[in-house]
């Protein structure tokens, strides 16, 4: 079979198509040398800045948390004065703040040339744990924040542990305490009609005992927010928290209310 030859017009168009000149697009040795020289100069400038006072820390600004927490953070970071901002990072700051149990997290910003800004989020205390004669303040995260010399001055709920229980400031509390603290975390003023006075916590038992003796039984630690919302609605509609008894929302789909109204004489 005879093949078709391209027409003269097609051959002319093909000849006019531009071709890619790879050699012209490649950087010249001169431009490569210039780029390397600029990179080396930038690296030398950075290394020089690390060891000079040009970007030394002169001011530390602390925001967030309570005044007491901010004061603790400021003292912990005071040792950074004079250090280059380029040498200050999250690891350096975190190592200094690790000894402050009240700090839950932080973020920082270098405000060149000489200011370090740190914003802290403080732990929120929700529980007083009594173990023998000792009392500890515990945050919603389950972290032990401090010992309490005068626990009666606190209005936070109580949880009682055996005298042999081990709690150490700055470290996570035992599991039963962490479960109770996590359940108290979403509890805001007014959510329950009565103040939570005591917390009972076990493997599958989590109960809030209100000031007048009424109990909110939550069962295990699952779906705590949902269970609290259901309990709050039941108590708001019935006024049962002003009586003795309990509301059991351990199975959210089948809440149980037992209320024994007090009769005044």
CATH number, domain of 176, equals: 3.40.50
Same domain flag for 142 and 189: yes
Residue 70 and residue 138 share a domain: no
Does a structural domain hold residue 160?
A: yes
pLDDT, mean of residues 117-133 = 96
Any idea which residue has 């209320």 for tokens? 259
Are residues 73 and 110 both part of a single domain?
Answer: yes
Is residue 141 domain-shared with residue 254, that is, in the same domain? yes
In a domain, 149, yes or no: yes
Shared-domain flag, residues 206 and 90: no
**Is 134 found in the same domain as 241?**
yes
Q: What is the pLDDT, as a whole number, of residue 42? A: 57
Measured CA to CA in angstroms, residue 236 lies from 89, 114, 192, 199, 226 at distances of 50, 55, 8, 21, 15
Q: Are 145 and 172 within 8 A, CB to CB?
A: no
Is residue 212 assigned to a domain? Answer: yes
What is the model's pLDDT at position 265?
33
Does 195 reside within a domain? yes
Classify residue 28: in a domain, yes or no: no
pLDDT of residue 155: 92
Residues 227 and 192 in one domain: yes
Q: Are residues 86 and 190 in the same domain?
A: no
Determine the angle formed by the axes of helices 90-97 and 67-77, rounding to 10 degrees. 120
Domain assignment of residue 30, yes or no: no
The reply to whether 118 and 129 lie within a common domain is no
Q: Which pLDDT tens digit goes with each residue over 193-205?
A: 778 999 999 888 9
Count of structural domains within the chain:
2
What is the predicted pLDDT for the residue at 264?
A: 40
Per-chain mean pLDDT for the chain: 86
On whether both 86 and 149 belong to a single domain, the answer is no
Residue 43 pLDDT level (bands cut at 50, 70, 90)? low
Per-residue pLDDT tens digits for 58-111: 999 999 999 999 999 999 999 999 999 999 999 999 999 999 999 999 999 999
Q: Are both 163 and 179 inside the same structural domain?
A: yes
Residue 166 within a domain: yes
Coil, strand, or helix at residue 93? Answer: helix
Report whether pLDDT(190) > 80: no
Q: Which range, of 21-30, 48-57, 58-67, 109-118, averages the lowest pLDDT? A: 21-30
161: β partners: 131
- 199: domain range? 125-260
Only one residue has tokens 């010399």, namely 149
Assigned domain for 11 exists: no
Residue 137 sits in the same domain as residue 176: yes
């Amino acid at each position: 079979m005879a093949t078709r030859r391209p027409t003269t017009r097609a051959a002319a168009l093909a000849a006019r198509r531009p071709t890619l000149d790879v050699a012209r697009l490649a950087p010249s040795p001169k431009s490569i040398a210039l780029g390397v020289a600029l990179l080396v100069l930038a690296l030398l400038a950075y290394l020089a800045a690390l060891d000079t006072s040009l970007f030394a820390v002169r001011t530390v600004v602390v925001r967030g948390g309570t005044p007491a927490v901010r004061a603790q953070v400021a003292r912990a970071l005071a040792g950074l004065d004079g250090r280059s901002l380029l040498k200050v990072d999250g690891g350096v700051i975190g190592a200094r703040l690790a000894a402050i149990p009240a700090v839950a997290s932080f973020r920082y910003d270098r405000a060149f040339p000489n200011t370090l800004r740190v914003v802290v989020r403080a732990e929120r205390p929700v529980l007083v744990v009594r173990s023998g004669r000792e009392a500890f303040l515990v945050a919603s995260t389950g972290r032990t924040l401090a010992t309490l010399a005068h626990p009666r001055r606190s209005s936070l709920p109580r949880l009682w542990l055996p005298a042999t229980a081990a709690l150490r400031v700055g470290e996570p509390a035992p599991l039963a305490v962490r479960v109770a603290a996590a359940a108290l975390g979403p509890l805001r003023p007014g959510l329950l009609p009565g103040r939570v006075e005591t917390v009972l916590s076990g493997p599958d038992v989590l109960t809030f005992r209100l000031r007048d003796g009424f109990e909110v039984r939550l069962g295990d630690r699952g779906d705590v927010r949902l269970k609290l919302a259901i309990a709050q609605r039941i108590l708001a509609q019935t006024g049962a928290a002003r009586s003795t008894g309990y509301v059991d929302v351990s199975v959210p789909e089948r809440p149980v209310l037992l209320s024994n109204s007090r009769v005044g004489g």
